[in-house]
Chain A
Amino acid sequence: MIPYDFGAIERALPYLGEGMLFTLKLTAFAFVGGLVIGILLAVIRHIRVPVLDRIVWTYVTVMRSIPLIMVLFWFFFLVPLVLRKFSPEGLSVSVSPQLTAFVTYTLFEAAYFCEIIRSGLLSVPRGQYEGAKALGLSTWHAYSLVIVPQALKAVVPIMVTQAIILFQDTSLVYVLSLTDFVGAASKIAQRDGKLVEFYTFAAVVYFIVCSAFAELADYLRQRRQAKSDVRAPTPIAVTAAS
């Protein structure tokens, strides 16, 4: 067997912990922010607001067509420019790479959430909207109290999957020389020459965390399918849990 220096990993845990903290913060921020903006974009597209609809469509299509690394490069170039332009005169705005990363991932996720939630909105029966309107609820209330909650419930499993993908995608901040969990592992690995130990350790950590959440997503999906009485052809898979 090849020699494996567990001690090196143990010593590096604090630093790795910091990297993981950044990963978690970025994931949480982008998930929540992306979700909120995504809901807004999805509703705009769903009710077909005249001009905004086209703008949102363009935005979402572009975001989903370019590699995330390319989006990161674009935003790193554009965000400081934009922020500096719109900030008050005399106020020297230093835009940290971390801030840009947070903004970029949020806006990137929003595009994906938009499509997910749109499919959720489409799955809510039209009668719900009519029932709400017939009671006199305004469009705002009809959507916020009746339609959107049901749409979100319908796509919870897909959202958990998207969260897992986001958690993994944060590793790409590497290209911006930011230190997330992978970045931290990489830095120490290069510095101490212990590539095997640190990269495999990072892989194991991600594997455990993502597998756990993937099981959760599967469980939610199966619970949903058990609830809805859909007459579908008997699936061939030996067991659902195989």
Chain B
Amino acid sequence: MQLLFETTIDGGRYIDWLLSGLGWTVLLWLGAAAIASVFGIVIGCGRASTSMTYRLVSRTYVQIFRNIPLLLQAFLWYFVFPELLPTAAGTAIKQMPPPWASFVPALFAVGLYTGARVAEQVRAGVGSLPQGQREAAHALGLSSFNTYGCVLVPQALRTMAPSLTSEALALLKNTSVAMTIGLLELTAQAQQMNEFTFRTFESFSVVTFAYFALSIFIYGVAELITRRLSATKVAAVGKAQRQA
């Protein structure tokens, strides 16, 4: 792995390229995860709503963002979106400096795509809760917003933990699509290093290893959170039983 510490054309070292790529990947992951969480929960709850408009909007959202390839979605955000806006806004976007010009469209693309997938999981998770939970919340006079926010979604998150974990890992893999619109994240850096040094095996190995490390990290954090969530549930039930 001495490759990493050799000097590059522009005077730095390859490890700087790798770390830069890593930084963009992580930033994209965090941003997209935030977008996906918000949209996922809102749309996911919308699928099971009593309001027909809300249901329709949610269903359309999911259908659109799940049935178009992520690559194409990235292209749409990067090439087409600026054209569809009023001229002033469009020009402003096109004048964004390079890394951000690629980062922002990628953020929207990956974020909304993942949001659609999370929405489906939230729908399944909320749907698997006993009917009684919603009925009890209504009986108590809770608004729809509070019913979902305080009662249903928190419980659903527990059952959804495993599928959300795999979604988080899939999100990591999907960030690589950003390289097609010019973002120099990890995979792009693998290609760059290869092109400049022709040491394909080393360049690719180092980046592959970086992905493994990130995967393990995400998985570890997810496990911790899952365990925490299950622990509080078990503790609460145990406490209730002791008091009974």
Chain A residues close to B by CB (< 8 Å)? 2, 65-70, 73-74, 77, 164, 168-169, 171-172, 174-175, 182, 186, 189, 195-196, 199-200, 202-203, 206-207, 209-211, 214, 232-238, 242
Measured between C-beta atoms, what is the minimum distance from A200 to chain B in Å?
6
Contacts of A65 in B (CB 8 A): 169, 173, 211-212, 215
Chain B residues close to A by CB (< 8 Å)? 47-50, 55, 59, 63-64, 66-73, 75-76, 79-80, 83-84, 123, 126-131, 133-134, 152, 169, 172-177, 179-180, 187, 190-191, 194, 200-201, 204, 207-208, 211-212, 215
Question: B204, A236: Cβ atoms under 8 Å?
Answer: no
Contacts A210-B67, A234-B131, A242-B48 given; does A69 touch B176 at CB 8 Å = yes
In the complex, which of the residues A2, A74, A209, A236 contacts B127, with contact meaning CB atoms closer than 8 Å?
A236
Question: A69, B76: Cβ atoms under 8 Å?
Answer: no
Contacts of B126 in A (CB 8 A): 236-237
Question: A236, B84: Cβ atoms under 8 Å?
Answer: no
In the complex, which of the residues B127, B172, B191 contacts A235, with contact meaning CB atoms closer than 8 Å?
B127
Question: A242, B47: Cβ atoms under 8 Å?
Answer: yes
Question: A199, B190: Cβ atoms under 8 Å?
Answer: no
Question: B211, A74: Cβ atoms under 8 Å?
Answer: no
Measured between C-beta atoms, what is the minimum distance from B112 to chain A in Å?
13
Question: A236, B131: Cβ atoms under 8 Å?
Answer: yes
Summarize B's interface: helix, strand, loop or mixed: helix
Most B Cβ at <10 Å: residue of A74, A77, A203: A203
Measured between C-beta atoms, what is the minimum distance from B23 to chain A in Å?
17
A189 to B200, CA, bound (A): 32
Contacts of B55 in A (CB 8 A): 238, 242
Question: A237, B127: Cβ atoms under 8 Å?
Answer: yes
Question: B215, A236: Cβ atoms under 8 Å?
Answer: no
Given contacts A70-B211, A195-B79, A233-B130, 11 further A-B contacts (CB under 8 A): A74-B204, A77-B200, A168-B67, A182-B72, A196-B83, A203-B73, A206-B69, A214-B67, A235-B128, A235-B131, A242-B48
Contacts A199-B80, A242-B55 given; does A171 touch B204 at CB 8 Å = no
Task: Sample 21 A-B pairs with CB under 8 A, ordered by A number.
Answer: A2-B83, A67-B173, A67-B176, A67-B187, A70-B211, A73-B204, A74-B208, A168-B70, A169-B69, A171-B72, A172-B71, A186-B75, A196-B84, A202-B72, A206-B67, A207-B63, A233-B128, A236-B133, A237-B47, A237-B48, A242-B47
Summarize A's interface: helix, strand, loop or mixed: helix
A237 to B215, CA, bound (A): 33
Question: A174, B129: Cβ atoms under 8 Å?
Answer: no
In the complex, which of the residues A70, A211, A234, A235 contacts B208, with contact meaning CB atoms closer than 8 Å?
A70
